[in-house]
Amino acid sequence: MTIPIQTELGSAPDGDPKHMSCTDPATKEPLGEVRVDTPADVEAAVARARAAQIAWRETSFETRRDVLRALMAFTVEHKDEICADIQRDSGKTRENALMGEIWTTCEKFRWMIKNGEKHLRPERVSSGLLLHKRARLEYHPLGVVAAITPWNYPYQNLVNPIIAALMAGNAIVLKPSEWVAWSSARFIDAFRGVLEEAGHSPDLIQAVQGRGETGAALVRANVDTILFIGSVKNGRRVIEGSAERVTPVVMELGGKDAFIVCDDADLEQAVHAALAGCYVNCGQNCVASERILVHERLYDAFERRAAELVGKFRQGSSREGVVDVGAIITPLQLDIIEKAVAGALAQGARLVAGGKRALTEKGDYFEPTILADVTADMDIAREEVFGPVMLLMRVRDDAQAVEIANGVSYGLSSSVFSKDRARARRIADALETGMSAINDFGGITYMAQDLTFGGVKESGFGRMNGRDGLRSMCNVKAVIDDRFPISQPNKMYPVTASQYGVFSGVIDLVYGRGFRHKWRGLLRLLGRGQ
């Protein structure tokens, strides 16, 4: 069985406002073209989603789990085809596609099927002094979720918001990056087909394709919440657009993750984790370990071992054999990486490995690179690179490592390596980030779906994943009702002469400091005090 496809194939000149040409960045092979949706198309997609959501919001949790099981089964059964499409559209390796997109997505499915209902059931809470009342929090569907997703994980970035949205009783409208429009069209068509086979409206999942104009139209559309994953620059634009309707947003933006290696760290463990943090998906990760802060006692040994291993990396397309590092997804990003490395070398960084474009006759590649002697005042130490570049920075102690780690505008994830767990926790606690991993690279937290995913400072706000990520797609309603089937009117009117004294006594009795204050309150409550 092949993945269904409704993408328009053929050729179109670059710059065609009505179509987007799609190519394999690893081979420059044409993949086809995808039609650009207009603002009117966006409005129509949102309307279809809203109409479909009316019935879906009334479904049981078991029905929703059944749909998620069907979508997970499709993912598992077609993982090879999905990986092949990911490779062709993004240039990443086969192994990165399988582990970084299929495995993580399946874990999201598993967690949601097991735990989703638990976190969406009404939750009893204390009614405080209202002893005759019961209080609870209810989690109702918002309606239509908009998700604007980037190009670095074409399958995972699409499917994960679908999972949460459907479980919460919502419909969803997705706007994938124009750089992975071809594979996104295929995946979304396939998921709509699974919904239809399960007896539900495929309109619960909508896709709008295009460039900035299409994304802006979705932000300003009649949606109930927006999930945005992308750059700080575009995140600001989303916030500005969402303000027109006061639409709530969850922002997962960029990162400049610090990876701290203490002097007592296991060298081999730290080096291999750094390789994963820097080179998985060719470094095109928001949680990439972009700054490796190594204690001066281990610095030279760390550099030698990292250089030894990186020197053995194989680069190219997985379609031609087993490789370690793939292509850069967009030619624009290739330019950014090249300029960042050149700028660092001009500012005094030392080139240890790589440093230039590679395999230019085949596609968009940049060599796995190591830059040593990077300092905190260099541009490359503050600005997101989003490429296969390891930055080695020397630190004299834990305090300096924390100072450098916190000295950037981002605060997404972080890593700390030490054999002393208490020491590692102290350092992690001091880091201004939304996530921390001890003795592993920061991105590993994504596999623990009970954990939330998100950052602070310019890395965004709000959370994906876990209980809080799921509930962000709900209207959290506070409800209070009668504990006993007894009519007990709250007689506040007409106001009596004693009312102020009685309630003043209650305040003193309940909230007053010390026995004397509380005793005075009791007397006032009984009408015996002033």
286 as an active site residue: the answer is yes
Rounded Cα–Cα distance for residues 103 and 106 (Å) = 5
The tokens for 60 are: 């049981």
β-sheet bridge partners, residue 19? 35
Rounded Cα–Cα distance for residues 177 and 152 (Å) = 9
CB count, 10 Å around CB of 39? Answer: 16
Inter-CA distances, 211 with 19, 39, 177, Å: 10, 11, 8
Helix axis angle for 232-242 and 212-219, nearest 10°, is: 40
252 as an active site residue: the answer is yes
The tokens for 216 are: 């802006």
Using CB atoms within 10 Å of the CB of residue 99, give its burial: 0 to 12 exposed, 13 to 18 middle, 19+ buried.
Answer: middle
Rounded Cα–Cα distance for residues 367 and 355 (Å) = 6
The position carrying tokens 């990486």 is 337
Active-site residue (options: 262, 282, 286, 474): 286
Q: Measured in whole angstroms, how far is the alpha carbon of residue 371 from the centre of its chain?
A: 28
The position carrying tokens 């701290």 is 260
Q: In a 3-state reduction of DSSP, which class is residue 458? A: coil
Element of type H or E holding 2: none
What's at 184, amino acid-wise? S
The tokens for 288 are: 């990439």
Reference 119, options 445, 480, 472, 434; nearest CA is: 472
Q: Measured in whole angstroms, how far is the alpha carbon of residue 307 from the centre of its chain?
A: 31
Active-site residue (options: 33, 101, 178, 252): 252
Task: Write the DSSP symbol of residue 416.
Answer: E
Query: Which runs of consecutive H residues, i.e. helices, occur in 432-489?
Result: 466-471
Q: CA geometry: angle at 476 spanning 471 and 480, to 5°?
A: 140
Inter-CA distances, 198 with 14, 67, 202, Å: 39, 7, 10
What's at 311, amino acid-wise? G
Residues 37/152/219/34 CA torsion (nearest 10 deg): 0
HEC per residue, 248-261: CEEEECCCCCEEEE
The position carrying tokens 């490359």 is 380
- Residue 371 φ then ψ, to 5°: -115, 125
402 and 259 Cβ atoms separated by less than 8 Å: no
326 and 320 Cβ atoms separated by less than 8 Å: no
User: Which are the catalytic amino acids?
Assistant: 252, 286
